[in-house]
């Protein structure tokens, strides 16, 4: 294995991680921002109020995107397993 080869595997791994996790993180951030704005406008400073909408939103996104996420991860993993003979050389 050359350093370039290991670097390309690492790059592909990071791309898959970011692609799979980005929608969930973005939704959590947007919902948190909206709840924070609503709390600032209404001057309700309850700390637990921000957690419930975020949990629900993240759960719904995970539920909606689970097939796509699994497809991406299975495709990446199968490519890793298929190319094992090339890695050993």
DSSP string, 4-68: HHHHHHHHHHHHHHHHHHHHHHHHHHHHHHHHHHHHHHHT---GGGGHHHHHHHHHHHHHHHHHH
pLDDT at 65: 96
Structural domain including 16 reads 3-88
Tokens of 22: 């980005």
pLDDT by residue (tens digit) across 30-83? 999 999 899 889 888 787 888 899 999 999 999 999 999 999 999 999 999 998
What's the domain count of the chain? 1
CB 39 within 8 A of CB 45: yes
pTM of the model: 0.81
């Amino acid at each position: 294995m050359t350093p370039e080869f290991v670097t390309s595997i690492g790059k592909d791994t990071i791309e898959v991680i970011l692609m799979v996790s980005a929608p969930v993180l973005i939704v959590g951030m947007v919902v948190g921002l909206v709840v924070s704005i609503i709390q600032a406008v209404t001057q309700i400073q309850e700390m637990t109020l921000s957690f419930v909408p975020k949990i629900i939103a993240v759960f719904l996104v995970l539920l909606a995107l689970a097939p796509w996420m699994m497809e991406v991860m299975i495709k990446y993993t199968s490519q890793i397993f298929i190319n094992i003979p090339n890695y050993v050389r």
